[in-house]
Amino acid sequence: MGVFGKFQARMRGEVSDEPLRAYRRAGAAVDALMGDVDQRRVDATLAGRSGWTMDRSAQVEALCAWCAFVLQQLGDATLDAHEARHPGGFVPEQTSE
């Protein structure tokens, strides 16, 4: 994006989306976490336990991993939707916060 595009974005009250992209890169680790949690769930199922009879720590881990996964997906979708509609690397200040 050129200087004029940056100026227009600033006039619309938009800020750089680079911090959000950094969060996206850092949050990509949640996919591996979900894979690990799902594998432990499968192992527990094969051992005759369900999500309700697993150790409490495994239940809490699965809940936290699922929440992290959902929040990461929502953030990624929001950033993708804005980029599709307004390419250029800038987002509204409210989105950035």
Residue 43 has what pLDDT?
94
Q: Count of domains in the chain?
A: 1
Residue 32 belongs to some domain of the structure: yes
From CA 50, how far away is CA 57, in angstroms rounded? 14
Residue 97 belongs to some domain of the structure: no
Task: Name the percent of the chain lying above pLDDT 70.
Answer: 95
pTM of this structure: 0.76
Residue 96 belongs to some domain of the structure: no
Look at residue 58 and tell me whether its pLDDT is greater than 80: yes
Residue 11 belongs to some domain of the structure: no
Residue 53 has what pLDDT?
92
Residue 25 CB neighbour total at 10 angstroms: 9
Domain range for 54 is 17-85
Residue 19 has what pLDDT?
84
> Which tens digits make up the pLDDT trace of 64-94?
999 999 999 998 998 898 888 888 788 787 7
Q: Residue 4 — very low, low, confident or very high, per pLDDT cuts 50/70/90? A: confident
From CA 37, how far away is CA 55, in angstroms rounded? 13
> In angstroms, how far is CA 46 from the centroid of its own chain?
30
Q: Residue 1 — very low, low, confident or very high, per pLDDT cuts 50/70/90? A: low
